[in-house]
Structure 1
Amino acid sequence: MSEDQGRNSPQTIVTDEAPIAVPPVPAPLPGMLTSLPSLARWTILAMVSFVLSAALFLSHIPGALLLGPMAAAILVATNGARLSVHRVPYIVAHSLIGCIIARSLDLQTLKAVAHDWPIFLAIVLAVIAASSLLGYLIAKADILPGTTAVWGTSAGAASAMVLMAEAHGADARLVAFMQYLRVVFVATGASIMAAFVFNVEGGAAQEIIWFPPTDWIELAKTVAVALAAAVVGAKLRIPAGTMLLPMIATTTLHVLGYITIDLPEWLLAAAYGLLGWKIGLSFTRRILRHAASALPQVVGSIVLLMGFCGGLAFLLWWLKGIDPLTAYLATSPGGLDSVAIIAASTPVDMSFVMALQTTRLLLIILIGPAISSFVARRLRA
C-alpha cells in the first residue's frame, strides 16, 4: 500500500479488544512541500539533514548523525513532503547497525555478562515491569486500548515493537507514534546527558576520519554476511531480525576469526542518516492527529520511564562501580539502534551497553505477547 493510500484508509482502528471508533479525519491539506517534484523534496530533506547534522556535530552532541536527519525528516514530513524510505535501504542500514554491535562484542564481555547475569536479569525485568505498568495505567484510564498501550510503552527497538504489536492485534500506527516519540526523547536526552552532564564531547572525543584506508575484501565479507543474514531475517519475518541476525552472524564469524569487522565512517554515516529519516518520516500529520489527545499522557509515561531507568543506572554505578555514562546508556529505554549510534560515538563500554540492551529486547520479544494478553484480560475483567 502506498503512503497516499494509507492516508485515505478508513478511520476504524481494530484491535484484539473492542473496535475503537475514531471520528472521521479529512484528507490532510497539502503542505508547502507537497506540490514540489519528488526529487526536489528529497533534495530539501538531504540539505536540511546535512545542515542540522553539521550543527549538532559541531556542537559536540553525540549521535548527531542520527538526530540531525531525524529532526529534518520530522520537519519535512509535517510540511507535506510525503516521502518514505524504501524497505531495502532500511534493511541494509539495520544490518550495518547489527555489525556495529557485533564489532563491540567479544568473549571476555560475554563471560562478564554471564558472571553478572543476576544483575542483568534483575535490571531487564525491572524495566519491562515498569513499562508494562505504565501501559496498563494508560489503558486503565481509557487513553489507549490495552495491547496498544503495552506495546507502545515497551522499552525495546521501535521497529521490532511495531511489528510485534501489529502481529498481536494492536494498532500499529499508535504504537509507532509512541515508540518513535520515545526514541526522539531518549536519543535527545542521552545525547544531552552525555554532552552536558558527563562532559562527553561527541564530535571532538576523537578525530573522525571519514574516508580512511579500507580493507575492501574484509569490508565486502562483512557486508555480504550482514546482508545475507538480514535477508533471512526479513524472509522469516523475525521481529528485528534484520538487525539481530546480522549481529549474531557477524559476531560469531568475528569471534572465530573468519572476518574482521571494518566499517568506514562514511558508510556508517549513510546508515545513521537512513535510520533517522525512517523514524522522522513516520511523523505524518495524520498520526499526530490520532495521538494528539493522548500526547500529554504519552510524554508523561516517557519521562517517568526515563527517570526510572536513570535510577537503575544510579544503582549500577553505586553498587557495581559501572561508569555512569555506560550505566545510563545501558539502561536507557531508547532501543538498540539509537543507543548503539550514541554509544558508538562516546567513550563508554559499548559491549556492556549493547549486551544489556540486547538482553532486554530479546526478553520483551519472548514475553511481550503474554504481557499484552494479560493486560487485555485484566481490562476486560
Structure 2
Amino acid sequence: MGKFQPEKMHFTLQWLLLILISALFALVMELINLPGALLLGPMLAGIVWSLQGGSLQIPRNLFVVAQAFIGCLVAQSISSGMLPTFAQHWSLFLFIVLSTIAASSLMGWVISKLKVLPGTTAIWGSSPGAAAAMVLMAEEFGADARLVAFMQYLRVIVVASAASIIARFWVDTSAATAIPIIWFPPLQWATAETVLLALAGVIIARLARIPSGAMLVPMLLGMALQSGHLLKIDLPEWLLSMAYAVMGWRIGLGFTRPVLKHAIRALPQIVFSIVLLVGFCGVLAWWLVQHFHLDPLTAYLATSPGGMDSIAVIAASSHNVDLEFVMALQTVRLFLVIILGPALARIIARKTITESSIAG
C-alpha cells in the first residue's frame, strides 16, 4: 500500500478531505465537551494534513475577515447589563485583573528568559485569556502563532476542566441540560448588519494601518453601537464556525515537524506555568471568599484565567453562583488583556532582548 501523499491530490479534493477531517475532529471534541472544539478541530486537522505533506494554505484576506468576526464575537459578549456590577466593584476588579496579568507576564518572561520558547512567543502564550485574540495579535507582532496557539488552548482546556471539576464540589450539574446548537437559524437583518460591521472594520483598519485592527476595530465599533442600541450583533453558528475553522486552519497548516517537536519538548514547562497561574488565581479566589464573603464557586469561576465561554456555561448551570459578578470580572479581564497585551509583550520582549545582548 502506497504512502498517503495529499500534495499530489487535486486542490479541490484536498480541501474537501480537510473539511471532512476537521468536521470529524470537531464533532468528537464537542461530544466530549472539549472547549473550543470548533477551532481546535480544524487546527488539529490542519496539523495532521500539514505533517502528511499537504500543500494547502489559507489566503491572507480570508484570515483577516475571520479576525473581524472574532472581534464582533468579543463585542457581542460584552453586555451593557454588566456595567452596574463593574461600577460597584471596579477597584476590586482592576486589582484582580491587573494582578493576574502581572503574574502571567512574569511567567511569560521567565519562560522566554530560559529560552524554552523563541522570542515573544512565551509572552503572548502566557496571556490570561482572550486565547483567539492573543493568537491573532501574536502573529501581527511577529511571534510564532502556532506555539502561541498551543500554549493558549492548552491553558483553556486545563482551566475549563479544572472549573468543571471544582464546580461539582459545590453544585450538582448532572441534571443541567445542554443548550442545543441551532446551526441554521432563520436569517435576520442583524446578521447582515454584523457582516457589514466586520467588513467595515477590515477596511477602516487597513486604511488606518492599525496593528491587529481587523479584530480590534470591529470589536470597539460593535461595543459602541451595541451599547447605544444602534446595532444588534448576530453571529449564527454556521458563520461563527466558518470563522473559527479559518483560524484553526491558518494555525494548523503552518505546523511543521520541527515546530511540533519544539512544542512537545516544551510541554512540561508550559504545563507547569499553567498550573502556577491557575494556582495563583485560586489564591485570589480564596482572598475574595475570606474578605468579601463571596461563595467559593463564584470566586473561583470569576478569577479563572481563560476559557470565558466555558466558564459562562458552568456558571449559568450553577444556581448558587452570582453570574453577573463572574461575567463582569471575566469581561474586564478579556478587555484589558486585549488592550494591554501588545504593549506588555513589546516591553517584556525589549527587556529580554536587551538583557540577552548585555549577557552576550
The alignment status of 1:188 with 2:157, answered yes or no, reads: yes
Partner of 1:336: none
User: Per the alignment, do residues 118 and 210 of structure 1 end up closer, same or farther by CA in structure 2, a change over 3 Å counting?
Assistant: same
Determine the C-alpha separation between the residues in 1 that align with 2:47 and 2:309: 19
Q: Which amino acid aligns with 1:375?
A: T
Q: Which amino acid aligns with 1:118?
A: S
Deviations 1:230-283 (A, max 9, x none): 332244443432222111111211221222222222222222222222232232
Deviations 1:31-80 (A, max 9, x none): 74333333222222211111122222233444322222222222222222
Match of 1:91 among 64, 74, 83: 64
The alignment status of 1:288 with 2:257, answered yes or no, reads: no
Q: Which amino acid aligns with 1:355?
A: V
Deviations 1:190-234 (A, max 9, x none): 443455553668x9521222222232x222122102221133224
Q: What TM-score comes out, normalization by structure 1 length?
A: 0.74
User: What percent of counterpart residues are identical?
Assistant: 35
Structure with the larger helix share: 2
User: Per the alignment, do residues 352 and 302 of structure 1 end up closer, same or farther by CA in structure 2, a change over 3 Å counting?
Assistant: closer
The alignment status of 1:305 with 2:305, answered yes or no, reads: no
SS of 1:183's equivalent?
Answer: helix
Work out whether residues 202 and 214 of structure 2, in 8 Å CA contact, stay in contact via their aligned partners in 1: yes
User: Per the alignment, do residues 116 and 360 of structure 1 end up closer, same or farther by CA in structure 2, a change over 3 Å counting?
Assistant: farther
Partner of 2:137: 160
Work out whether residues 153 and 178 of structure 1, in 8 Å CA contact, stay in contact via their aligned partners in 2: no
SS of 1:34's equivalent?
Answer: helix
Q: What TM-score comes out, normalization by structure 2 length?
A: 0.78
Work out whether residues 69 and 280 of structure 1, in 8 Å CA contact, stay in contact via their aligned partners in 2: yes
Work out whether residues 66 and 246 of structure 2, in 8 Å CA contact, stay in contact via their aligned partners in 1: yes
CA drift at 1:289: 4.9
Alignment size in residue pairs:
337
User: Per the alignment, do residues 195 and 60 of structure 1 end up closer, same or farther by CA in structure 2, a change over 3 Å counting?
Assistant: farther
Work out whether residues 229 and 246 of structure 1, in 8 Å CA contact, stay in contact via their aligned partners in 2: yes
Work out whether residues 83 and 281 of structure 1, in 8 Å CA contact, stay in contact via their aligned partners in 2: yes
SS of 2:7's equivalent?
Answer: coil
Once the two structures are superposed, the pairs formed by residues 233-312 of structure 1 within 5 Å of their partners are 233-289=205-261, 294-312=266-284
Work out whether residues 65 and 202 of structure 2, in 8 Å CA contact, stay in contact via their aligned partners in 1: yes
Determine the C-alpha separation between the residues in 2 that align with 1:211 and 1:307: 40
User: Per the alignment, do residues 327 and 268 of structure 1 end up closer, same or farther by CA in structure 2, a change over 3 Å counting?
Assistant: farther
Work out whether residues 31 and 81 of structure 1, in 8 Å CA contact, stay in contact via their aligned partners in 2: no
CA drift at 1:185: 0.4
CA-based RMSD of the aligned residues comes to 3.4
Q: Which amino acid aligns with 1:268?
A: L
Match of 1:52 among 25, 31, 44: 25
Determine the C-alpha separation between the residues in 2 that align with 1:377 and 1:293: 26
Determine the C-alpha separation between the residues in 2 that align with 1:214 and 1:351: 30
The alignment status of 1:371 with 2:344, answered yes or no, reads: no
